[in-house]
Amino acid sequence: MITVHFDGLCHPRNPGGVAAYGYLIRRDGELIHQGLGVVGEGEGMTNNVAEYEALKAAAQWLKDSGIEDRVTVKGDSLLVIKQMKGEWKVRSATSRRYLPEIRTLLTGRDVSFVWINREENQEADELSREAYRRYKKKTRSIPEKR
């Protein structure tokens, strides 16, 4: 069985900060892949954008890898989990954009979505923080234009 943990953040402010994410994919408890990234900075960036990007990236990797095992997706974003399960209405433009994309990537798979608390999602959280740190280090090294 495949287990996906995902997380995202928007720092130092939400909205409008740097949206970064991380995810881990395990098969029967053994790590087989992990990823992290930055969506962007400024207008339009939120923690929900980062959370959805994390899930989208994980789903894309699963599709590209050809893995067809049963998948359990775990995250500490109640919004993302409840919307992916169809239990909460989709009201925001962010959710309306990401939900169809992610569902398409997961089409044909046996997928379940499980909300977990932050303490159970520490590794994915740390990956999103690492993505943020790498981004800030990279952008600090670029001289500002005057």
Domain ranges of the chain: 2-135
Mean pLDDT across the chain? 94
What pLDDT does residue 59 have?
98
pLDDT band at 36 (very low <50, low <70, confident <90, very high): very high
* pLDDT above 50 for 93: yes
What pLDDT does residue 141 have?
56
What is the Cα–Cα distance from 11 to 55, expressed in whole angstroms? 19
- For 135, phi then psi, to 5°, come to -65, -45
Q: Report residue 84 as tokens.
A: 């992916």
Mean pLDDT of 1-25: 97
**Per residue in 98-123, pLDDT tens?**
999 999 999 999 999 999 999 999 99
What pLDDT does residue 144 have?
47
pLDDT band at 146 (very low <50, low <70, confident <90, very high): very low
CB under 8 Å to 38, separation ≥6 — which residues?
18, 19, 20, 21, 131, 132, 134, 135
For residues 8 and 14, the answer to whether their CB atoms sit within 8 Å is: no
CATH architecture of 2-135: 2-Layer Sandwich (3.30)
Percent of the chain surpassing pLDDT 70: 96
Short-list 142, 139, 134, 121, CA closest to 51: 121
Alpha helices (H) along the chain: 47-65, 78-84, 93-105, 122-140
Encoded amino acid at 15, one letter: P
Mean pLDDT of 24-52: 97
What is the Cα–Cα distance from 74 to 68, expressed in whole angstroms? 18
The number of C-alpha atoms within 13 Å of 124 and in the hemisphere containing its C-beta is 32
